[in-house]
Structure 1
Amino acid sequence: MSDAPLPAREGISPQRVVLRGVVPTDREYWAGAAGDAPYRWGTLLPAGAELDRPQPAWFHPDVPAEAPIPFGYTVLFADEDLVVVDKPPFLPSTSNGRLVRETVQTRLRVEFGEDDIVPLHRLDRLTSGVLVCSRRAATRGAYQRLFQERRVNKLYRARVDGEVTIGGDWQLVVLPLRKRRGERQVTVGDGGVETRTWLRRVGDREVEARPVTGHTHQIRVVLHHLGMPIDGDDTYPVDRGLDLYDFTRELRLRAGAVSFDDPHSGRRRAFHVAAPGWG
């Protein structure tokens, strides 16, 4: 997890703060690591105690109850290092600021009774499919580097709204994408981060995508830019606003497969889900 001296509670990690002046009386705080701190790591700090120097501390955040997201994941694979799930649409992978309990990460931590479970990559809240999670901090770094160094193969399938504008052979699309602070939509334009996406047509209204880079909303923006927005998209071409409990429009984008060479065993790892039944 981290250098936190206390475990997660109900799957939710403790938070770190640096206290100055006095120890607050609003909740319990445990001493964090600091070379010159007067309290030993893991000590419950006395409420109201005066502090003659800054004191790192950890506490359990107050997280209110959340209305349930009525969709569940399916565990596809689990060993001592990884747990892989088929994530449903509408359920966030990790906290998005408004949902903390109703996420894949928190649900998995509660189900397995393990504080260290963390997704190794992102799937948008509306995107379904293969999500690979780390179970152990000791081995997590090697898996994270695979994703950071683009040594993971990902295959997505999308059903688009309208005619497919590409052919049946794989085509590399290179576009600069920009995400402005405070805006949900990602745009294509000069000065953006270069993204690379392989695309091909696989049906009258369906395409497959293999993203090389991992920009926010990358596949959604690229397909919209090419004149074929994804069916059910709440942001492209029109931002309909963020309603976390509107389940009426499913985004027809599914992460169908993730594969990589395991950095510890050297074996090829390949995780798949069934093709979407969109009709």
Structure 2
Amino acid sequence: MKASDHIHPSHLQLPPGPWATLLDGMCARFPRIDREVWIRRFARGRVQDANGQVLATALPYRAGMEVRYFREVDDEPRIPFEVQILFADADLVVADKPHFLPVTPAGRFVTETLLARLRMQLDNPALVPLHRIDRETAGLVLFSANPATRAAYQSLFPQRAIDKTYEAIAPPLPALPMPHVHRSQLRAGEPFFRMCEADGAPNSETRIEVIERGSQSWRYRLQPVTGRKHQLRVHMAALGAPILDDSLYPALAVQAADDFSRPLQLLAKALHFIDPLNRMPRVFESRQWLSLAQA
């Protein structure tokens, strides 16, 4: 079975429009995808109705109709690192994600994702991530394996009932008393995929401490109290110690492709929580390691 067989479809409710056929409407809705690409998708049964029935290109366009389609990317880059499964039972899966691998489909990645690899490896199409970490970040990600118990695990996150610990390699902060708690207002920045600090009441909080000092860089333990997008990366950059090999903060770096020899030095190291199903403590720790000697 191919990884693409484990990709769930995207859903679209057709908006009002003047198009004569479904093919015309899909081409108008996604102008960056060539018409010939859509024709090939239709021919392979990759465009369906809400019940999974394959649709034809000549089907009359009908506003309000639900269409399921499968995202595809030509020449999708291969991420040459493997996933480790640290724990798996009928309800929960804990994966140790490598750098550069996205958790879910996004942008130019569809099958080269943690989700697709795990669904194929475990042969479980019901598997879904309970949270996410950045593509550039390595480390622990929790997955729900059973829809019947999914809500119990999902509830841990808004309740802040999971203690998350990260490690990062970054420049020294000798003038900052440690441990340090950094709070700030985080908002969407420019371009749209970056975040920035702004005036206003804090909506993000991170506890920072030093666990190893090198001559050029230090190893930090980062414990986010909140879970804002790029929070740890923005906070460290704001303090004057951007995480090593960060291509987004403090400034956006221009690079044509991933440099696999220089991963972001950020690792989702440990997760601690009380299992909502059996009330037993759960402790998981990544087997990966950030090398201070190479920094």
| TM-score interval (norm. to shorter) | 0.7 to 0.9
Residue 110 of structure 1: aligned partner: 120
Residue 155 of structure 1: aligned partner: 165
> Retained in 2: the 8 A contact 1:165–1:226?
no
Distance 1:165 1:243 in 2: 36
CA shift in 2, pair 1:61/1:164, >3 Å: same
Residue 269 of structure 2: aligned partner: 256
Residue 5 of structure 2: aligned partner: 10
Distance 2:76 2:54 in 1: 29
Does residue 1:123 correspond to 2:133, yes or no?
Answer: yes
Q: CA offset at residue 215 of structure 1?
A: 0.9
Q: CA offset at residue 166 of structure 1?
A: 3.6
Residue 81 of structure 1: aligned partner: 91
Residue 247 of structure 1: aligned partner: 260
Q: CA offset at residue 161 of structure 1?
A: 2.2
Residue 231 of structure 2: aligned partner: 218
CA shift in 2, pair 1:79/1:164, >3 Å: farther
Mean Cα displacement is larger for which, 13-22 or 43-52?
Answer: 43-52
Q: Which amino acid aligns with 1:178?
A: R
Residue 206 of structure 2: aligned partner: 197
Length, aligned pairs only:
263
CA shift in 2, pair 1:193/1:98, >3 Å: farther
Matches within 5 A, 1:6-85: 9-19=4-14, 22-24=21-23, 26=39, 27=42, 28=45, 29-32=47-50, 41-45=51-55, 48-50=58-60, 54-85=64-95
Mean Cα displacement is larger for which, 170-179 or 145-154?
Answer: 170-179
> Retained in 1: the 8 A contact 2:163–2:273?
yes
CA shift in 2, pair 1:121/1:166, >3 Å: farther
Residue 35 of structure 1: aligned partner: none
Q: CA offset at residue 77 of structure 1?
A: 0.7
Does residue 1:137 correspond to 2:132, yes or no?
Answer: no
Match of 2:189 among 171, 180, 184: 180
Gaps spanning 5+ residues in structure 2: where?
24-37
Distance 2:282 2:160 in 1: 15
- CA-based RMSD of the aligned residues comes to 2.6
Mean Cα displacement is larger for which, 149-158 or 135-144?
Answer: 135-144
Q: What's the secondary structure of 1:57's corresponding residue?
A: strand
Instruction: Give the structure with the higher percent helix.
Output: 2
Q: What's the secondary structure of 1:183's corresponding residue?
A: coil
Deviations, residues 145-186 of structure 1 (Å, cap 9, x unaligned)? 211221110011111123454444x43221111213633432
Q: Which amino acid aligns with 2:240?
A: G
